[in-house]
Structure formats: C-alpha cells, structure tokens
Amino acid sequence: MSKLRVSAKAVAIPIERPTRISTRVLSERHYLLVDVESEHGNGIGYAYAGTSGGPILAQAVDELLAPMLEREGAEDLERTWQRLYQETLLSGRRGMVVRALSAVDTALWDLRAKACDVPLAVLLGGDVARPLPAYASGGYYRPGEGSPADTVTAEIEENRAEGFTDHKIKVGGLPIAEDAERVAAAFAAMGPDDRLALDANNAYRTPTEAIRAARAFERAADERGIWWFEEPLSPDDITGHAEVARVLETPVATGEIHQTRWEFARLIDGRAADLLQPDAGVIGGVTEWVKVAHLADSHGIQVAPHWHANLHAQLGAAISNTVAIEHFSLKKDIYNFERLLTEESRLEVRGGAVHLTARPGLGIEWDQAAVDRFAISRT
C-alpha cells in the first residue's frame, strides 16, 4: 500500500470591481487547494468555498479526511470515497465537509491519472482530441459600469468577438421588468443562431413568482426562446422546481449546489429539472460526478456542469450527455481560479470550444507564487 501525505490550503482571491448576483455581493473567492503526495507523484484537487469559509474546508481536510487517508491509503478510489463519506457521516453528509471531500477525491483521481500518464478524461474512458462546446458565462450586476442593458450588450459583443455563440447572464437581481430589458438587450447583441441561458441564483421565493419572471423573459426573447432558466428557486424546493419545469416551455436547470448521488436522484425522481448542473467541487468530487452524469443519462437528461471548467472539461470529455462547458474569461474577474495556475496549464478555449491537451491528470499545475500570495493564514 502506497503511503499518502495530504495537505490542504485555503486561498482568498479578491474580486477587483464591485460585483453582485441576485442574492449576494461578491468581494472575494475562497478556494480549497489539496495536494496528495505518494511515492508515485503528486495529485492536486480543489473546491470553491464561497465568498468566505475557505479555512473551514481546509480544517475539514486536516481533521476529518487526511488522517484516514494517511493511515489507510487509497488504492481503490470507489471504496476510499465510501470510507471517507462514512467516516464523516456525523459531521458531514452535506455542506462544507462534502466540498472538502470533493477536493480530496479529485486530487486522488489526478494522482491516479498521472501515475498512468494519461489525462483524466482518458482514464475515465474519454478522448481529449475532440473539442468540447463551451458557453461564455457572465452577465453579473456591476454598478457604475453603465446602464444594466448597456453592460449586457457590451459583454455579449465581447463574447462574440472571442468566438462564443452561446451565453449566460444573471437575472433576479433587479425588478422583473428591468431584467427583461437586459434579456432583450442580450438578444439584440447576439447572432441569429446564438443561444442565451438565464441564471437566477435562487432569486424567486415561490413558483408563481419564478413563472411570472420566466414569462417576461420569454417575451423579451421573442420567438428565439431561452436556452435554459437556471436555479429559479431555493435548491431545497424540489417540488417548486418541478412545478416551474412542468409549466414552462423554457427548460429548467438546477443542481449546482446539490450534493451526492442521493440528492440528484431526488431531483430526477421529482422531475424537478430538464437539465442538471452537477459541480464536481460540490457534489463529492470526480467519483460522485461521474455517477450522477450516468444516472442522468439513463433518464435521458443532459448535464451542463457548473463552474470549474478546467476540471469539468476532463469529465465532460468522458461522458456522452454533456451539453457544454461553462467558461469564464479570466479578464472578466468573476471566476478567478486560474490566477492560481501557471499560464501554460490554463485551459485553452478558442472558437467557442474547449481544447484539451495530452497533459496527464487534470492538466493543471499551481503557480506557487500566486498560491502563496493569496493563501489565508491559519495560525
């Protein structure tokens, strides 16, 4: 049995410009970074904590997960996941402990793929030669940068200049009529075959309110239609999401905050989504993400993974029901994770598609100077 050494670090990367979504202000991003060392090399994993809480995730790794891994090893990744989940059942099951487990599990898969000298996508049965469709995510609320409609117009034009024909913007942070103006502005700036998804970030309190908003957005889109309507309600309101999905012609998407295969089974059984958005940094890591993607496929449901394009491109390349990879240009200063990576290991995106390389594992490596710069002291 190969001995493992597990280390965890929390980092906080500031958002340089005032930014918000429908439910919160974004001032900085906290990430958990995990390194797993063995005699065969080093594996890295990561997860998003939120706008705070990174040290809590690191502590969960140090106190709850690392001791078992260092004591028992991880030769069988499926059984290792189950042991770690069972070990933290009383303190975890959901929430930040599962996010910590996500980063550890991802690091173990990265270590395994590197030991086999193949990209993670290939280890999981996929192919890195085929470009993956991607969409330009953004459309956040940024006061002081012009009118909301003008800001959306400028961003869509920038997306198109970078080769994207699919886009996503935020809704729910303004009165419905004003958000509808932003939707109309986005469509006016898009090409005739472009698609637009809308992300409400749990903004609406009832299905009735969510349906009323969606109807206004559908009118703003005219005959072109909305690609999907994302997280209109609280993630816990599965029945409400099912009602919205039943009524609307626009597909309803959710899943980015849901964790483990059991929660996704409830979404599927409740017919609460037309499109699922599992996030490997939330759900429980690579092990659970793959299970959920195949579970969705068995029910004829596609997946559009949330965030973490560097990781999800590898996973999306290994399954057949991936719609597109969510991509944030680093210059938008929204999803700023790639500031932690060496420039040569950042994701290659051109022509609205992700292009994977033959680099083993996740294909990424830490820029140690950046990691040290943004590290949160835990002393």
SS3 content of the chain, % helix, strand, coil (to 5): 45, 20, 35
**CA nearest neighbour of 356 among 119, 45, 46:** 119
Matching residue, tokens 């995990």: 34
- Residues forming the active site: 306
End-to-end CA distance of the chain, in Å?
33
Matching residue, tokens 């001032």: 27
What is the CA angle 151-157-160, rounded to 5?
140
The answer to whether 54 and 33 are in contact (CB under 8 A) is no
User: Which residues make Cβ contacts (< 8 Å) with residue 234, sequence separation at least 6?
Assistant: 202, 240
**CA nearest neighbour of 229 among 252, 248, 212:** 252
User: Which residues make Cβ contacts (< 8 Å) with residue 62, sequence separation at least 6?
Assistant: 8
DSSP state of 63: I
CB under 8 A, 24+ apart: contacts of 346-351: 346/310, 347/309, 347/310, 347/313, 349/134, 349/162, 349/309, 350/163, 351/131, 351/163
